[in-house]
């Protein structure tokens, strides 16, 4: 009986946790940050490098995948421009995990799922990122990012 009670508690706790994380309700500030993140990826997926870079803060610093060093905004533009010439993003989805807003700074942890096509064919890529935004003149600007691929099929 004690074992059954333990299992029931675990099942109930797991169900509550899964429901809580999948039914997350975001504040209006958090929604602004999520929207800024979605817009940034929309520019990226549509190969709109100019708009993508205009949503990136001048002091940007990012560290991606297995890269040995972080990149600044100029290097980000160089590498994204090169990469986007050969890769077409067919579909993408952001799954936010956590969004923290503190004044004019925000941090969003999220998963990014993409289906991409290049000269090798189609692949599905799952990635995870932490993005930092700074609000300037009423606009959330991506000032830092860290993350990369988890899996690719």
Q: Name the residue ranges covered by the structural domains of the chain.
A: 26-152
Confidence of residue 133 (pLDDT cuts 50, 70, 90): very high
Q: Is the pTM of this model over 0.75?
A: yes
> Can you give the pLDDT at residue 54?
93
> Can you give the pLDDT at residue 12?
43
Q: Which residue has the tokens 């994380």?
A: 21
Q: What is the mean pLDDT of residues 42-58?
A: 93
Top pLDDT among 17 and 94 is at 94
Top pLDDT among 22 and 142 is at 142
Q: What is the mean pLDDT of residues 78-104?
A: 91
CATH of 26-152, one of 2.60.120.260, 3.10.450.50, 3.40.50.300, 1.10.1670.40: 3.10.450.50
Confidence of residue 6 (pLDDT cuts 50, 70, 90): very low
């Amino acid at each position: 009986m004690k074992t059954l009670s333990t299992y029931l508690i675990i099942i109930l706790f797991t169900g509550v946790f899964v429901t809580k994380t999948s039914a997350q309700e975001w504040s209006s500030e958090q929604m602004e940050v999520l929207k800024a993140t979605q817009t940034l990826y929309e520019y990226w997926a549509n190969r709109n490098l100019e708009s993508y870079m205009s949503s990136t803060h001048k002091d940007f610093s990012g560290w991606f995948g297995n890269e040995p060093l972080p990149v600044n905004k100029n290097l980000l533009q160089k590498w994204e421009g090169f990469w986007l010439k050969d890769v077409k993003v067919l579909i993408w989805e952001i799954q936010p995990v956590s969004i923290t807003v503190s004044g004019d700074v925000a941090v969003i942890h999220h998963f990014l799922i993409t289906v991409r096509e290049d000269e090798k064919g189609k692949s599905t890529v799952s990635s995870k990122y932490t993005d930092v935004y700074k609000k300037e003149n009423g606009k959330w600007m991506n000032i830092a990012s860290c993350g990369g691929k988890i899996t690719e099929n």
